[in-house]
Amino acid sequence: MRVAVTGATGVLGRALVDALLARGDEVVALSRDADRARQALGDRVEAHAWPIPSDAPPPEDALAGADAVVNLLGEPVAQRWSTEAKDRIRDSRVAGTHSLVQGLLALVPDRRPRTLVSQSASGYYGPHGDEPLTEDAPAGSDFLAGVVVAWEREALVAASDLRVALTRTGVVLSPDGGALAKMLPFFRLGIGGPVAGGRQYVPWVHLDDVLGVLLFSLDNPQASGPINLAAPDPVSNADFSRALGRVLTRPAVLPVPAFALRLLYGDMAEIVTTGQRLVPARLEQLGYQFRQPKLEPALRDVLKRSS
């Protein structure tokens, strides 16, 4: 299979490129800087420059003849949400996906990829307390939910001509960065603990399952529409903190008040102080087998890889 990957030099993009190459696929990397992509990924991939956000679609040579596209574009959400940061978060996803889809639809049909797997986020649902959320749950009304709704809408424009899967991804546990990396220094010092009372749910998922579901979505012709990409064992923030403390053999009882996060991150703190109890109903229906379904073994695996 020939697969074009946008955002190929990010943490998730590099891991996906490795997974595709390991199973014998041909990979085309789309990045803001083609030289940087070649340095990061080596000569294993065909690299093309595509500055985002941009009104211009990707180079035709990068998309034509590919069997599928995996769209991983997106400015990091975990930063203080200034007006400028919000614009970057939205434009990188919404405008970037719009340009990508326009490029796909402009291709002649026999040179057009058949599948688009477009990254999405659990933020689609907004704050929902402890209510179990399948893919049929309504969208939220906060800033991040509005971004994700618009992001998905742009990807679904391609659904008249391609199979489109939208992977609504939760909090990724990865040895190479992300939310866990930001938490570890505090927990290793014994000063970690539940945030904002700890009752909010954490829709966690191990990196192995993010990659597994992306590959599954590429290969399975039944995988289309929204797909909740979170482990089948969601936990509260307090339970997550206790599990991480046990894995690190450190206490995890010092509470972090919500106001402290708001002082540090501004409006972005809402994605930590609230949460979603995602249920991977569509994946269960399709028969996907999670590689890391339980939190504590998943944390142990990630920390072993990062040591």
d(CA 269, CA 286): 34
Q: Say what the pLDDT of residue 266 is.
A: 67
Q: Which of 36-40, 76-80, 83-87, 225-229 has the lowest mean pLDDT?
A: 76-80
Cis peptide before 132 (omega within 30 of 0): no
Q: Say what the pLDDT of residue 172 is.
A: 93
Q: Which residues contact 46 (CB under 8 A, 6 or more apart)?
A: 26, 27, 28, 29, 62
**Amino acid letter, residue 104:** L
pLDDT at 122 over 60: yes
Per-residue pLDDT reduced to its tens digit, 34-61 = 988 998 898 889 999 998 767 789 999 9
φ, ψ (nearest 5 deg) of residue 45: -125, 160
- pLDDT band of 80, cuts 50, 70, 90: confident
Mean per-residue pLDDT for 60-81? 92
Q: Say what the pLDDT of residue 125 is.
A: 96
φ, ψ (nearest 5 deg) of residue 80: -65, 130
Domain locations along the chain: 2-237+264-306
The model's pTM: 0.93
- pLDDT band of 188, cuts 50, 70, 90: confident
**What's 2-237+264-306's CATH class?**
alpha beta
Q: Say what the pLDDT of residue 164 is.
A: 98
